[in-house]
């Protein structure tokens, strides 16, 4: 199975400052169809997760442009250009290239 490893697991950030989260996979996430199926989700406390980014770098509808995704192969990054209070919660990367589909351990973002 693919292992998804996120870092850091805890991310204290000052409001208005940038933040980035790394996600590394134990094998390439390039699918046989040529696409890379790596998504980023955000889960606020006591809420269901919400997808922010699909296929590495595509923002879902309604997602603020302060969120961006990048990377390739086995190494991916979620960047928040300016952290806002509503960003508190846990961020997960998820791969759907290989079965079983799975998530990273999660990165908990908190405001300093």
Q: Which residues bind another protein (CB under 8 A)?
A: 1, 35, 37, 41, 43, 48-51, 54-55, 58, 60-61, 90, 92, 94, 96, 99-106
Q: How far is the CB of 6 from another protein (least distance, A)?
A: 9
DSSP readout, 69-94?
EEEETTEEEEEESS--GGG-EEEEEE
Smallest separation, CB 32 to another protein (Å)? 14
Q: Residue 20 or 106: which CB sits closer to another protein?
A: 106
CB of 51 to another protein, least distance (A): 5
CB 78 within 8 A of CB 87: no
Q: Which is nearer to another protein, 41 or 67 (CB)?
A: 41
The rounded distance, in Å, linking the Cα atoms of 61 and 41 is 13
Cα distance from N-terminal residue to C-terminal residue, the chain: 36
């Amino acid at each position: 199975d693919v292992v998804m490893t996120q870092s850091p697991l805890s991310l204290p950030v000052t409001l208005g400052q940038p933040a980035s989260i790394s996600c590394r996979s134990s094998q390439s996430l390039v699918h046989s169809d040529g696409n890379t199926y790596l998504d980023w989700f955000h889960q606020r406390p006591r809420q269901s997760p919400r997808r922010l980014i699909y296929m590495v770098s595509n923002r879902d509808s309604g997602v603020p442009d302060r969120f961006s995704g990048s990377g390739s192969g086995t190494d991916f990054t979620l960047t928040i250009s300016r952290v806002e209070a509503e960003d508190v919660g846990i961020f997960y990367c998820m791969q759907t290239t290989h079965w079983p589909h799975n998530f990273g351990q999660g990165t908990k973002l908190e405001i300093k």
